[in-house]
Each structure stands twice: as C-alpha cells, then as structure tokens.
Amino acid sequence: MFFEALAAALVGLLALWFVLDPVLRPAPPAPPVYEPPDPQETPKGLALAALREIEFDRATGKLSEADYDELRRAYTAEALTAIRAEESGATGTDDVERMVAMRVAAIRGGEVGDGVVCPTCGPRPEAEAAFCSSCGRSLNGVGACTGCGAPLTPGARFCGTCGTKVAA
C-alpha cells in the first residue's frame, strides 16, 4: 500500500512537471529573420524616387525649368551610378568576400589567388602587403633581416648573418 501511494505521487509529480515545464521555462529566442532591404531605401531607389519627386514638382509648378534641369542632371547621374554599382555587384563587402574565398581555397589546398596569406592569421585583404596587418609577420614566406637585409630562414629567432633579433 505504501509503494502504491509513492508510485502514484511520483506519477502525479511527473505529470505536473510535464504540464508546468513549458509554462515556467522561458521561450527560446526566435532565430533572426533575414529581411531584404526595402527597394526604396537603396541608393538606386532613393535616386529614382528623387527623380519622380522633381518630375511631380515641375508638373505642379513648384520648380522652374532651370532648377528642374539642374536637379534632373544631378539625380540622373546618381541613379546611373547606383544602377551600375548594383549591376557590377559592388556591395561594399568585396574585401570580406575575397577573404572568405581565399580562406576556402587555402583550406581546400587550392590556389589562393591574388591575395596574400599570413601563416598565423590566414588570408589578408591587403593584396600587396609585405607584413600581416594583424600580427606583423612577414607575408613573403621567408622574411628579410631588418639589420642587414639578408634572407631569414623560416623559424629563425636571430639573423644568421648579423645576429639581429628577428621580430615575432
């Protein structure tokens, strides 16, 4: 009789826990949702909206012909620049895209391309750099001594020619 009451209490507590657990536990945060940019908020959209606005202002008599011509010329140039940038794929993330591509190529053992690779930090966005912008290591594979200019052997802590301490 005692074990039956204990078993019933355990089952009751387990049922209570299953019912109250979702209520008492905080909900997990919602995953971030990608929202594409509003076309009206892009440089192209802003320039085209400005062109429509000056057309309307001219039609309603708010702009003189001279002002309209000046504004139309400026906004048309801005719209063309934005459209060309959009078509060429210039998004402002070219360095990041190139670094990711170089890192993937380095991991796969392929060619890295025109970028440079730091042995410590990986691909660097500086295409013609001699030293890593993060750690300062030489990016030419074998560095040169700062004292005498002689080539250094990989892993050397001192120059073999003049004995100058090699930077990290």
pLDDT per residue as tens digits for the range 136-168: 766 665 566 777 767 777 677 788 788 888 765
pLDDT per residue as tens digits for the range 52-106: 999 999 999 998 999 999 999 988 888 888 888 877 765 545 556 666 766 666 6
Does pLDDT of 8 surpass 80? yes
Burial classification of residue 59, based on how many CB atoms lie within 10 Å of its CB (0-12 exposed, 13-18 middle, 19 or more buried): exposed
Distance of CA 119 to the CA centre of its chain: 22
For residue 14, what are its two tokens? 């387990």
CA atoms within 13 A on the CB side of 145: 17
Which pLDDT score is estimated for 78? 87
Which pLDDT score is estimated for 7? 92
Which pLDDT score is estimated for 126? 64
Range ranked top by mean pLDDT from 3-17, 70-84, 106-120:
3-17
Which pLDDT score is estimated for 128? 65
Domain ranges of the chain: 39-88, 94-124, 138-168
Segments of 1-134 assigned E as strands: 116-118, 122-124
* Sign for the pseudo-dihedral over CA of 143, 145, 151, 153: negative
What separation, in Å, do the N-terminal and C-terminal C-alpha atoms of the chain show? Answer: 77
Which pLDDT score is estimated for 47? 86
Q: Is residue 30 very low, low, confident or very high in pLDDT (cuts 50, 70, 90)?
A: confident
Query: How far is the C-alpha of 83 from the C-alpha of 93, rounded, in Å?
Result: 17
